[in-house]
Amino acid sequence: MSKTQSKAQVTDFDYAERAVPGESRRSVLTMFMIMLGFTFFSASMWVGQELADGLDFGGFMGALILGGVILGLYTGLLGYVGAETGLSLDLLAQRAFGTKGSYLPSAMISFTQIGWFGVGIAMFAIPVANELLGGSSAAQWILVIVAGICMTASAYFGIKSLTIISYIAVPAVAILGTIAMIMAVQRGDGTIVDQFAKSSGSLTVIGGAGLVVGSFVSGGSATPNFTRFAKNGKVGALTTVVAFFIGNSLMFFFGAVSFIFVGGNDIFEVMINLNLFYLAVLVLGLNIWTTNDNALYSAGLGLANIFNQKKKPMVLISGIVGTAASVWLYYNFCNWLNILNCTLPPIGIILVLGYFMHKEDYVDSFKNTKVVDWFAIIGVIAGAAAANLVNWGIASINGMVIAAIFYCVGQAVQKK
């Protein structure tokens, strides 16, 4: 073995170009903490606000359960496939979409995750600058740069760094946020059920479930990038389903309580209202950090696949772009990101179907000769169109159904 080969094997513990070997798989607890931290996303609190505004408490819980089941089924399947194969989203895409066809899913996941990374930085910098630093533009940009550097660094150093951040942030956010939520409820007028009863009633349970699914279906599409480090498929699926249900539900409750008791949409505002200034900054920062470094990690893997480069420099480029554009993204691009979110569930369902329909393509000895699977590409385009244009039902499910039909028909045609 040459020194170059030895060095590459030592430093490439993220396995961007091959399956994660058995000796590099992580414990159940580590996987659970990584996946739980992934779901701690402040934008999900915005959905909690919408749910609290449009549903009573029973409807709120019904939407959480129904949406959680749908999201858990989707991400759990992706988690299983990632863990069973040891392959990242981009390597799975090479099998299902072809070597060149995989550029489409890689580009979509990279683009959306860089966008949400930038939005996340601004979601930290803008409220902290406004509440604690007088709202000056200089203070805002200092916070943007510092947060961007820290979050990019943890993504740059890969799964080991993501694990450390998750072990620190997950307990802190869960415990401190829950305490603040309980304190807010105790100071309110009546029980939380009484407060929910004042909602406008403008949402149905199905509509609420659609918001729950849509809140994290784009991030959830990147699940294989992390569950490929799980011991096996069962562990990957179970930790994903449990973590996503707990983490997302907690974020929705934080957003709902914030809206009901202080008129905001973030646990940060609740804690500020309770005069817990520094704890508020800590919780907001850690909450966003756990999702942002995962998003940037996925973006780096995607760009590495497209440009045939190493992951680390692609993470740096993604971090610089996301940081520089963060404030602009926050004010101008959220609606576009929500539209782009609809392109990712069709990709995810095709990755799942590709694995279960062609398991022989996922063994270590497989030599990939497929350049582009046009039925997979057409499935994504048709699914994204259906998700964005069909007003009936839940957008992400509409997209997945249409994509699955195109892909399955295509495989049958190719087999004949």
- CATH class entry, domain 26-415: mainly alpha
CA distance 18 to 347: 20
pTM of the model: 0.92
Q: Do you know the residue count of the chain?
A: 416
Token pair of 413, please?
A: 């045609």
CA distance 103 to 223: 18
Residue 43, pLDDT score: 79
Domains of the chain, residue spans: 26-415
Each residue's pLDDT, cut to its tens digit, for the chain (416 residues) gives 444 444 444 456 789 999 999 999 999 999 999 999 999 887 788 889 889 888 988 999 999 999 999 999 999 999 999 999 999 999 999 999 999 999 999 999 999 999 999 999 999 999 999 988 888 899 999 999 999 999 999 999 999 999 999 999 999 999 999 999 888 888 776 677 777 766 667 789 998 998 898 888 888 999 999 999 999 999 999 999 999 999 999 999 999 988 888 877 788 988 998 888 899 999 999 999 999 999 999 999 999 999 999 999 999 999 999 999 999 999 887 677 677 778 899 999 999 999 999 999 998 878 888 999 999 999 999 999 999 888 888 888 999 999 999 999 999 998 87
| Degrees to nearest 5, angle at CA 356 with 112 and 236 | 60
Q: Which residue, among 390, 371, 391, has the nearest Cα to 382 in the 3D structure?
A: 390
Alpha helices per DSSP H over 221-325: 224-227, 233-262, 267-273, 277-307, 311-324
Residue 29, pLDDT score: 96
| Burial (CB count within 10 angstroms: exposed 0-12, middle 13-18, buried 19+), residue 75 | buried
Token pair of 3, please?
A: 């020194």
Query: By the 8 A CB rule, do 70 and 246 touch?
Result: no
